[in-house]
Amino acid sequence: MTKTTATHANTDVFAQFAKGFEDLQARFGFQANGRDTALKGIATTREHVATARNAFAQTTGQAGKIAGEAGQAFASAARDMAEAGFANADMALDAFEKMLTAETPADAFKAQSDYVQTAVTANVERIRKTAETASETVAARVEQVRGEFEKLTPRKAA
């Protein structure tokens, strides 16, 4: 058996990929032209997300006022779910922008892996918070229903 040792060429696994990536960017002129167009699209999308976020908050606020206490709980839950979606859109746009402006393929891969890690952590926290809120809301509604039921039942004299 022969033992192979790592050569300098083998130590940088991404060197050939990086060179190919740079050649591809140069060939298609992606660096400046495509990146600028994509970054403008990201800016426009951010504006649309902000507009949708504000419109949804106003709509659920009005719906909550009209529907009373129970409606406010549902409007609040809907707001929380929508905010999670808007926050995910913000994170995705940030990651895409970082990937587009990355200096090297390694930076682009890091931006993508950071996004995945951050998104998973944030969504797990949102799910935990939503579950806690739902549990508290259900418990409060059960107590409210119990109180209303007790008002309806006649009390026996002791």
Model pLDDT for residues 51-101, shown as the tens digit of each residue: 888 888 777 766 656 656 656 666 677 777 788 888 888 888 888 888 888
Q: Report long-range pairs for 98-106 (Cβ below 8 Å, ≥24 apart).
A: 100/35, 100/38, 100/39, 100/42, 101/35, 101/39, 104/18, 105/14, 105/17, 105/18, 105/21, 106/14, 106/18
**Residue 37: strand, helix, or coil:** helix
| Residue 5, pLDDT score | 47
Whole-angstrom Cα distance, residue 33 to residue 21?
A: 16
**Residue 54: strand, helix, or coil:** helix
- pTM for this predicted structure: 0.52
